[in-house]
Structure 1
Amino acid sequence: MRTLYVDTETSGVAQGPGGLVEIAVVDENGSVLFEQLVNPMHPINPFCVRIHGITDEMVAQAPTWDEIRPELTALLEGSHFVAHNVKFDRGVVGEAGDGILETTCTVELCRRKLGYPLKLALAAERALHVASGPWHRAAADALACRSVHVWLSGLPDLAPEERRALQAARKREKHAARAALKEIDPRLAKVREQKCPMPLRHGQPWTEEMDVRLGQMWREGREVLDILELFLRTPRSIFARLEHLGLIPPEHNPYGSRPG
């Protein structure tokens, strides 16, 4: 059974194969067997464009799902399918993966071997992987997943008591980190979802006028809930924009890319 490492990037509009905008398949030796932009036949959500950088123009002349499905189906037939959050990527390939014999999730492997999940970039860093391209592009992420899988496969599974102890220690670390951020600025904390207004503008482009207003409100010391009421976006989006504008450093972003 051949082990294949798969990563998919999606439009954020449709689920399953209908949302696919890029896919890559890498073998055990690190060879890229399949790498393809895919035209989803609908506009890509701007929020997703900001994550993976794949635009409508880039996929306009790319093949559709129906055109790549036969080759992908044959490639995945009888394989061991490995991905970072395998449930998501397996769902994206849909019926093309009906012949997959086994799946492995490297996020779950992190839990088994380390006691906690890690984002792909952080896990790859631990695995001493050198990125082959920008993160959130299919081939670069599939290659990183391979390195993470090889690294984690060489580690022993943690005993239940070891896992509980590590989880408790990380919980204490997270609590201490949150307390430290609140000491710097009480607004540097995650906002409870129940308190947030509906993010009606989620995914819409930011304008220069919006950036100016956001910066003004932040410097004035306005509460995050006031900012959410005005911009109608998610707290994650607001803090990402604050970081992008240099109003807070990355390490002060409560929604930033930290382990776990």
Structure 2
Amino acid sequence: MNADLLAQPGLLLGAVLVFALAGVVKGVVGLGLPTVSMALLALFMPTGQAAAWLLLPSLVTNVLQMRPAASLGPVLRQLWPMQLGVVVGTLGGVWWWGPLGQAAGARTLLGAALALYALWGLWGRAVTLPHRHQGWLGAVAGLVTGGITALTGVFVVPAVAYLQALQLPRQALMQAMGLSFTVSTLALGLGLSGVAGGSGPLDGAALGASAAMLLPALLGMAAGERLRSRLSATAFKRVLMGSLLALGAYMLFN
């Protein structure tokens, strides 16, 4: 499948444009690369294959988003229960539900969740989690996020809602999302490789295709980061929630 696609210039160009666009979204709002790429790549390849193609672009862009390394320690200490939940939920979901994208209605449910969360973020009241509850709530959010990742290949809900409820400053929020999405990408890669049981679509050809998509994703992310630096805090929130709403609507109606 990957070799056939790489041999077709039109499909390859389409994939390059998808990852460049997804990179721009990622650079502006700190998320969206898997969601955008999965939604658009699914137009011309199976869901599991699309997830395999996005692994390296997702991993590298999220590792870069975790910068600066000097301030990563406190984020890790605060969010480790959530990250543990992500790994358990993703691998457990792959083992329970089988190949990515096979469960009926998963895409529609995720689209509805994204849209509802975005509407609440635009017009609802902000929620702050008491510090004493952040650990166990983080673990639950990670488990649910992991399960949704195993179903759809997208790891935004409810991870972003939980991270926003921590009321982190913008830069810390971006770093926390980078950490969470990095762990989700690694866990998804393990699931696609067949570690959780069965055979997955991740092989040498898929990794080669994924590596080829890295450059357009990085260039798009760099352009998006420059745009983000010009946004006010209010505009940033509106762009973030508007992006989630658009992604959710796309997944609902396509």
Query: Normalised by the shorter chain, which TM-score bucket?
Result: under 0.3
| TM-score normalised over the length of structure 2 | 0.23
| TM-score normalised over the length of structure 1 | 0.22
Larger Rg over CA atoms: 1
